[in-house]
Structure 1
Amino acid sequence: MSKRLRLTLAQLGWLNTALYLLARALERASDGRWTLFRYLFVAQYVSDSPLTPLRGADIDIQTPDASAPLPDGYPRPAHVVSDRYAQGASTLTAWRNGRLAGFLWLISNAYQEDEVRVRYRLSSPRENWDFDVWVRPDERLGWVFRRLWDSARQQLRGRGVRWTCSRISAFNPASLRAHAQIGVVRLGHALFLRCGQWQWMFSSLRPYFHLSRHPASFPQLMFDTSQLQEPPCRNFRKSATS
């Protein structure tokens, strides 16, 4: 067994490693037409405690709207950003010394995934969906993502939100490691296999299985945190690579 494979096994576990290798093999063999994704769905409690008291004062947090131009080098296509705003999503951006240092996206009620065909629905106004947390690589050891999440926490608590849900890739070891450290609650998982216009979904959540033959066909997964117990007070740390 190669050193690289041993490392992947240690980071992802047997199941995720096998699926990751299968995903790579399918993509290579099909010249990119076949893609395989495995997601884990988690919930994080939105606490009252500030994350970065007296830290990161030189980081400016902004809340741009759909009319704001994208910053130079923004790492997402303009059409993806436009679609997110059209769904009702909002974003927080972090700036340091006039440069974009990071961002995250928030949405309530429902979110249409932009990597595969699926719609995530939330069962209560006390829930939120967070997605696409990004921090510029040279800022990932600093206070940028904590400042972003402190601003998000204040915004969500002000709206009465108590749980924020998200999906993480089972093939992303950094994200898996970070979420294991913060005590998130697992809500379920799903596997998506795409071949051209066709997509198969296998999930631990209803409807459990779905076959989509065209873009207008997609499953809906419902997330309900009403039975979750609020955790004891602890420091909140969230992945900047999920």
Structure 2
Amino acid sequence: MLAKIKQTYRELGAADTVLYMLDKALVKLTFNRLLIHKYYITRQPVSAIASVPPTKALDIEIKQLANDDPTLSTMDRPAAILQQRYAQGGHCFAAFKKEQFAGNLWLNFDEYQEDEVRCRYVLQPTGHAAWDYDVFVMPKYRFSYVFAKLWDKANSVMTGRGISYVYSRINYYNVGSLQSHKRLGSKIYGAVYFINIGSVQLMFSRHFKPFLKLSTNQAEFPALYIRDNPSNE
């Protein structure tokens, strides 16, 4: 147990380790009724320069999937969630290596509705930013060019739309994802917290507005405004 705590401390630091331990304890004590979420909001510049040379990875193809593409059924996500993403303006890009599904990446422009808590991330000013999420590469392809090719395609699409930055939210304890985004040039832009007790949700942040929002309606998805210059800059 002590070894696990030390490892968590090394990976997360003191503050996030305390939050992680508190969250785990409260989940058990309240039988999963009280949940604490902390997300880092990251931002990275969109690049017009491909990272994979045109002579490399010729056996990898990137396609944008329509909402009725049969490839969607191979993804480890409920069909209803995937269709909800399309209804909210989601764009899905899939990688195929030698015609076999190898990974995917999703983009939304200007706005994204969270599927883990009740929140809509609204990117401002309109038309200048995108939101990436659910970036996934099949385990056997994680040391190939699949990840890089997916991002090259995403960057190409965003460049064509005049997008300057792409944002994402990452669970504070997901060290691997934070490091992957960092290698792409991403930086932590701010943080937002959610405390959920049954149908009651408290959202708060010192970086993005509204700084504090209480909601009790399960159908309510309050907006969180991600601006070019957050309040801490």
Q: Same fold (TM over 0.5)?
A: yes
Partner of 1:176: 178
Name the CA distance, whole Å, in 2 between partners of 1:82 and 1:183: 31
CA drift of 1:89 comes to 0.9
Partner of 2:42: 42
Deviations 1:106-165 (A, max 9, x none): 011211101110100111312111111111122212211100000111111011111111
Name the CA distance, whole Å, in 1 between partners of 2:33 and 2:193: 17
Partner of 1:154: 156
Partner of 2:96: 95
Q: Residue type matched to 2:102 in 1?
A: A
CA drift of 1:219 comes to 2.4
Name the CA distance, whole Å, in 1 between partners of 2:182 and 2:65: 31
Name the CA distance, whole Å, in 1 between partners of 2:229 and 2:41: 16
Are 2:116 and 1:115 equivalent residues in the alignment? Answer: yes
Match of 2:216 among 213, 231, 236: 213
Name the CA distance, whole Å, in 2 between partners of 1:51 and 1:225: 26
Name the CA distance, whole Å, in 2 between partners of 1:226 and 1:193: 25
Name the CA distance, whole Å, in 2 between partners of 1:79 and 1:91: 15
Contact 1:60 1:94 in 2 (8 A): yes
| Count of residue correspondences | 227
SS at match of 2:80: helix
Contact 2:71 2:101 in 1 (8 A): no
Q: Can you give the 5+ residue segments of structure 1 that lack an aligned partner in the other structure?
A: 228-242
SS at match of 1:167: strand
Partner of 2:131: 129
Match of 1:187 among 186, 189, 197: 189
CA drift of 1:201 comes to 1.2
Contact 1:163 1:225 in 2 (8 A): no
Name the CA distance, whole Å, in 1 between partners of 2:51 and 2:229: 25
Partner of 2:10: 10
Moved more, 112-121 or 19-28: 19-28
Contact 1:110 1:120 in 2 (8 A): yes
Name the CA distance, whole Å, in 2 between partners of 1:38 and 1:222: 16
Q: Residue type matched to 1:173 in 2?
A: V
CA drift of 1:176 comes to 2.3
Provide TM-score, normalisation by structure 1.
0.87
Provide TM-score, normalisation by structure 2.
0.91
Contact 1:189 1:203 in 2 (8 A): yes
CA drift of 1:72 comes to 4.5
SS at match of 2:70: coil
Contact 2:73 2:79 in 1 (8 A): no
Moved more, 172-181 or 132-141: 172-181
CA drift of 1:25 comes to 1.5
Deviations 1:180-212 (A, max 9, x none): 444423321111111221111121211111111
CA drift of 1:226 comes to 6.8
Name the CA distance, whole Å, in 2 between partners of 1:148 and 1:21: 35
* 1:44-83 matched pairs, under 5 angstroms: 44-53=44-53, 54-83=55-84
Contact 2:37 2:171 in 1 (8 A): yes
Deviations 1:71-99 (A, max 9, x none): 44411111110110000111100112333
Q: Residue type matched to 2:115 in 1?
A: D
Alpha-carbon RMSD across the aligned residues, in angstroms, is: 1.8
CA drift of 1:101 comes to 1.0
Name the CA distance, whole Å, in 1 between partners of 2:201 and 2:31: 17
Runs of 4+ in 1 over 3 A off after TM superposition: 70-73, 179-183
SS at match of 1:155: helix
Name the CA distance, whole Å, in 2 between partners of 1:154 and 1:206: 30
Q: Can you give the 5+ residue segments of structure 2 that lack an aligned partner in the other structure?
A: none
